[in-house]
A and B are shown apart, each in its own frame.
Chain A
């Protein structure tokens, strides 16, 4: 398994989990399915991007910063797309940023494929 696939899987799983936590917010519970799907897609995109970066750049610090940035940017985009007056920027971007950070850390630490680094 290469770093991109690893990032995709991790981002997807964390995205599903992140979406499911909206169940505990009564105001958005009715839109749970849409939130889970959206969050999963966001996680997959973030995971692929961060995994690609980890494949190119072998640096834990840069990987974490890149993951945080991607997580925040995608979360900001999702929040900005919310209909209605409330965009929940803080509620969406805080966990989104941490998820990006986790994926950034994990993809840099992952060394499952020995040939990965050699291939670049």
Chain B
């Protein structure tokens, strides 16, 4: 009797769990990866002759909760229109009864993979600013990502940034009723899938969702009701720290410039939400100020540090003026005969 190897069993399992696409405009190309809620496949949309990524719910979901979550992720994404957020093209039910949504196929590398490349500090900070943009848009619409980490950020070949995996995104309670995310698309999603969308699945108080190391302390404690945009700001601060430490081994406090950058990270990742930046715009404002050689909110400067920063920022102009004055003094002292 021949026993099947583990690899063979795994391949059989994968083949068995492949979604049934017969009768749909999609053609299976390959399996891209598996997340907590579903598996992502690369498929071809025969109507438009383009490749799209299809996220399909895992088979086992007796409660229907995952189904609701996947639909909710799709409609959250559909509402967040920004170049940094993957657009949803389609949502529906496959012939095998599983829920899916099709989105743009993102070609690029994950942030944790490219972080070790030799990019300068300003380039890394500018990349970080791009990561913050879609998050700021989401916050303005009352949506928290709640799982921001380098693995969930893709960087395209032209430096474009896409924030992925909005599966555990949360619509803030204060804006939930008025948010277009909770009102406008529900009916559309229900019509497309044939499944009425219930009240958005609410993560129970005490449940911990997120990734250790990138999760805000209040999120790690399961204080779901208390979460606001400052939880994402904590994660962004942790991502910034990762970005800067991936190549250089960390931001040391060796000089004034790095002390300012360290202070920005420390403010973003402060244990108490009240000590963090109030908004992503405030956070990126400090990054922009740092890049421009301007004072940052996170770091109160001494007079000496302020002077040093001004000299550093205007060193070329200062050298030119000193060169002029030196030339003048030498010409005054020089008496040709």
A interface residue numbers (CB < 8 A to B) = 21, 24-25, 91, 94-95, 98-99, 101-102, 105-106, 109
Partner of A98, one of B316, B320, B332: B320
Within B2-52, the residues touching A (CB, 8 Å) are: none
The answer to whether B331 touches A102, judged by C-beta atoms less than 8 angstroms apart, is: no
B interface residue numbers (CB < 8 A to A) = 316-317, 320-321, 323-324, 327-328, 331-332
Partner of A95, one of B316, B317, B328: B328
B331 neighbours in A (Cβ, 8 Å): 25, 91, 94-95
Which interface residue of B316, B317, B323, B328 has the most chain A CB atoms within 10 A?
B328
A106 neighbours in B (Cβ, 8 Å): 317
B332 neighbours in A (Cβ, 8 Å): 21, 24-25
A105 neighbours in B (Cβ, 8 Å): 316-317, 320
Sample 24 A-B pairs with CB under 8 A, ordered by A number: A21-B328, A21-B332, A24-B332, A25-B331, A25-B332, A91-B331, A94-B327, A94-B331, A95-B324, A95-B327, A95-B328, A95-B331, A98-B320, A98-B323, A98-B324, A98-B327, A101-B320, A102-B317, A102-B320, A102-B321, A102-B324, A105-B316, A105-B317, A109-B317
A102 neighbours in B (Cβ, 8 Å): 317, 320-321, 324
Closest beta carbon of chain B to A78's beta carbon, Å? 15
Q: Which residue of B lies closest to A99 (CB)?
A: B324
B328 neighbours in A (Cβ, 8 Å): 21, 95
Closest beta carbon of chain A to B318's beta carbon, Å? 11
Given A25-B331, A105-B317, 8 other A-B residues pairs in contact with their CB atoms under 8 A: A21-B328, A24-B332, A91-B331, A95-B328, A98-B323, A98-B327, A102-B324, A109-B317
CA distance A95 to B332 in the complex (A): 12
CA distance A71 to B68 in the complex (A): 72
Closest beta carbon of chain B to A104's beta carbon, Å? 10
B320 neighbours in A (Cβ, 8 Å): 98, 101-102, 105
Closest beta carbon of chain B to A61's beta carbon, Å? 12
B316 neighbours in A (Cβ, 8 Å): 105
CA distance A2 to B328 in the complex (A): 30
B327 neighbours in A (Cβ, 8 Å): 94-95, 98
Q: Which residue of B lies closest to A23 (CB)?
A: B332
The 6 residue pairs across chains A and B that have the minimum distance between CB atoms: A98-B324, A24-B332, A102-B320, A21-B328, A91-B331, A94-B327
CA distance A95 to B331 in the complex (A): 9
CA distance A64 to B323 in the complex (A): 15
B323 neighbours in A (Cβ, 8 Å): 98
Closest beta carbon of chain A to B314's beta carbon, Å? 9
Which interface residue of A98, A101, A105, A106 has the most chain B CB atoms within 10 A?
A98
CA distance A38 to B317 in the complex (A): 25
Closest beta carbon of chain A to B327's beta carbon, Å? 5
A99 neighbours in B (Cβ, 8 Å): 324
B321 neighbours in A (Cβ, 8 Å): 102
A24 neighbours in B (Cβ, 8 Å): 332
A91 neighbours in B (Cβ, 8 Å): 331
Closest beta carbon of chain A to B62's beta carbon, Å? 59
Closest beta carbon of chain B to A117's beta carbon, Å? 17
CA distance A102 to B324 in the complex (A): 9
Closest beta carbon of chain A to B16's beta carbon, Å? 59
A95 neighbours in B (Cβ, 8 Å): 324, 327-328, 331
CA distance A18 to B323 in the complex (A): 13
Q: Which residue of A lies closest to B324 (CB)?
A: A98
CA distance A91 to B327 in the complex (A): 9
A25 neighbours in B (Cβ, 8 Å): 331-332
